[in-house]
Chain A
Amino acid sequence: SQWGEENLQALSIQEGEDVTMNCSYKTYTTVVHWYRQDSGRGPALIILIRSNEREKRSGRLRATLDTSSQSSSLSITAAQCEDTAVYFCATDLMGYKLTFGTGTSLLVDP
């Protein structure tokens, strides 16, 4: 989980492996955003999944949303070195602003 006051999680994998990052949230949300942040840059949206969607795909990325367990996951298939980044989930807990998780730092080694 990357929620609340927890510190940044770190994952290290080899190129070609699959990886899944998880995010749990505390109250109802209508949408989950997944952002990617490269070193020295601001976050950029990679997938947005709505509460009426269970799964969303974009290339090698797959996001899931389980509203009953209040959790979301982001999977990367056949990770590549350029996938190295920090990944954040964000939810609209108040319906009008996003609340960001603490993030998962992913390192993909060649």
Chain B
Amino acid sequence: GGIITQTPKFLIGQEGQKLTLKCQQNFNHDTMYWYRQDSGKGLRLIYYSITENDLQKGDLSEGYDASREKKSSFSLTVTSAQKNEMAVFLCASSPRLGGYAEQFFGPGTRLTVL
């Protein structure tokens, strides 16, 4: 088995601030994902990466940057936090890209922007 660790668990920022969320996995999975989950909504894909140093935009990439410098880690940056923004950011990994691959999720980072 393995685990996905996300830091921080809670993140409070100011409007316009640049904020970075981190994710680590020890599954040795090739593919990693960042999703955004708004209250009462489904998960929306922000970025994914199929290998180290690879980055692919998802449906919600505007306003975000990502970085995959190591196989085990995937970072997400909110480039300019929006006032009153509240969401949970979920990191996931899977052994490969494709619909048959199970995705394993971390516990999430809860973002609040004041």
A36-90 residues with Cβ-Cβ distance < 8 A to B are 40-45, 48, 50, 88, 90
A6 to B74, CA, bound (A): 30
Chain A 19-39 residues near chain B, CB threshold 8 A: 29-31, 33
B107 in contact with A41 (CB, 8 Å): yes
Q: Give the contact stretch, choosing among B64-72, B76-84, B92-100.
A: B92-100
| Range, interface on chain B | 20 to 34
Chain A: minimal CB distance from B101 (Å) = 9
Q: Given A8-B41, A88-B43, A103-B42 in contact, is the A42-B99 Cβ separation under 8 Å?
A: no
Whether the pair A92, B99 counts as a contact (CB closer than 8 A) is yes
Given A45-B102, A95-B99, A97-B58: A40 touches B42 (CB 8 Å cut-off): no
Q: Is B40 an interface residue (CB 8 A)?
A: yes
Q: Is the CB of A42 within 8 A of B105?
A: yes
Size category, A interface: 20 to 34
A-B contact pairs, 16 of them (CB 8 A): A40-B107, A41-B105, A41-B107, A41-B108, A42-B107, A42-B108, A44-B105, A48-B102, A88-B43, A90-B43, A95-B99, A96-B97, A98-B103, A100-B42, A101-B42, A102-B42
